[in-house]
């Protein structure tokens, strides 16, 4: 158990430190995998580089992601331990506004983790969560435990939202003809490079915006949404995010 720690409200990094404490608590409760704490640290480092704000390249991706959700026939939200601990309420809200079910899908499939994550989601108001019924399908292209999916969820989905994702699943899902949307603060990571839409932003900022755009785009005509989606370039987004970080670092170096 971690020691009870008192973080003063006037600490310059109060919010980030509270989030860190929340992740440690999630790890103690088995919601977050120990490796999830390392992922959180890497995310924090990239968030520093973008200045902890949602930049226009992320907003473009959020708009394209909103289109992808609305255009899909069977969208699904894949939930891992980090996401469940960081933004449970927003996952439930996103599921409500988009009609996409939540599916627990873990890389580190340790006994008790699915149940712990299910508890967190249900506490946040989730009525139906896939990936826990015991009914399973296998994505043969994958060798990690992420290959085990729900036949009613990721297996039959035409669009999968995979925030804070590791490795090679995105490539496999795309090869199966599914549209893949991710959120990842690291534009150099494999997933954003293989996804159709990569939101380079902190999930804590991106999900509220995504839910908001889905609500406001719902009244748009299908052709308009398709045109908006087609005008989006993921390569351009990744390039812009890297240029933004590089220029920001150069500008900060001049202030030292």
Binding site for ligand PTJ (CB under 6 A): 33, 35-36, 39-40, 42-43, 46, 80-82, 86, 106-108, 164-166, 183-186, 189, 202-203
CA–CA separation, 117 vs 139, rounded Å? 22
Q: What totals of helices (H) and strands (E) does the chain contain, helices first?
A: 11, 8
Q: How far is the CB of 222 from ligand PTJ (least distance, A)?
A: 30
Shortest Cβ contact with ligand PTJ: which residue?
Answer: 43
Q: How far is the CB of 109 from ligand PTJ (least distance, A)?
A: 7
Among residues 172 and 203, whose Cβ is nearest to ligand PTJ? 203
Q: How far is the CB of 16 from ligand PTJ (least distance, A)?
A: 10
Among residues 39 and 159, whose Cβ is nearest to ligand PTJ? 39
CA–CA separation, 73 vs 100, rounded Å? 9
Structure tokens at 6: 């008192």
Among residues 100 and 117, whose Cβ is nearest to ligand PTJ? 117
**DSSP state, 134?**
S
Among residues 66 and 162, whose Cβ is nearest to ligand PTJ? 162
Q: How far is the CB of 73 from ligand PTJ (least distance, A)?
A: 26
- Tell me the three-class secondary structure of 6-62, residue by residue: CCCCCCCCHHHHHHHHHHHHHHHCCCCCHHHHHHHHHHHHHHHHHCCCCCHHHHHHH
Query: Contact at 8 Å (CB) between 70 and 214?
Result: yes
Q: How far is the CB of 127 from ligand PTJ (least distance, A)?
A: 22
Q: How far is the CB of 3 from ligand PTJ (least distance, A)?
A: 24
Q: How far is the CB of 202 from ligand PTJ (least distance, A)?
A: 4
Among residues 97 and 183, whose Cβ is nearest to ligand PTJ? 183
Among residues 184 and 225, whose Cβ is nearest to ligand PTJ? 184
* Cβ-based burial of 92 (10 A; exposed 0-12, middle 13-18, buried ≥19): buried
- The crossing angle, in degrees rounded to 10, of helices 34-50 and 234-255 is 70
- Answer positive or negative: Cα dihedral of 172, 146, 211, 221: positive
Among residues 173 and 225, whose Cβ is nearest to ligand PTJ? 173
């Amino acid at each position: 158990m971690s020691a009870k720690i008192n973080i003063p409200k006037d600490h310059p990094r109060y919010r980030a430190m509270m989030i860190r404490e929340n992740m440690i608590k999630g790890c103690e409760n088995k919601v977050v995998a120990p490796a999830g704490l390392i992922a959180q640290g890497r995310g924090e480092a990239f968030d520093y580089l973008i200045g902890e704000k949602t930049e226009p390249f992320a907003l473009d991706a959020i708009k394209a992601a909103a289109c992808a959700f609305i255009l899909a026939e069977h969208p699904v939200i894949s939930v891992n331990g980090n996401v469940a601990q960081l933004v449970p309420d927003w996952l439930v809200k996103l599921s409500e506004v988009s009609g996409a079910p939540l599916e627990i899908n873990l890389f580190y499939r340790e006994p008790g983790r699915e149940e712990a994550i299910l508890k967190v989601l249900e506490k946040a108001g989730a009525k139906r969560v896939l990936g826990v019924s015991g009914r399973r399908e296998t994505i043969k292209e994958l060798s990690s435990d992420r290959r085990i999916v729900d036949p009613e969820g990721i297996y039959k989905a035409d669009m999968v939202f995979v925030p804070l994702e590791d490795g090679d699943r995105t490539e496999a899902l795309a090869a199966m003809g599914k549209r893949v949307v991710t959120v990842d603060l690291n534009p150099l990571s494999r997933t954003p490079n293989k996804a159709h839409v990569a939101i380079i932003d902190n999930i804590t900022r991106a999900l509220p915006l995504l839910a908001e755009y889905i609500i406001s785009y719902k009244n748009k005509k299908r052709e308009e949404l398709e045109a908006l989606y087609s005008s989006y370039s993921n390569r351009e987004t990744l390039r812009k995010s890297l240029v933004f970080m590089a220029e920001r670092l150069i500008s900060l170096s001049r202030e030292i």
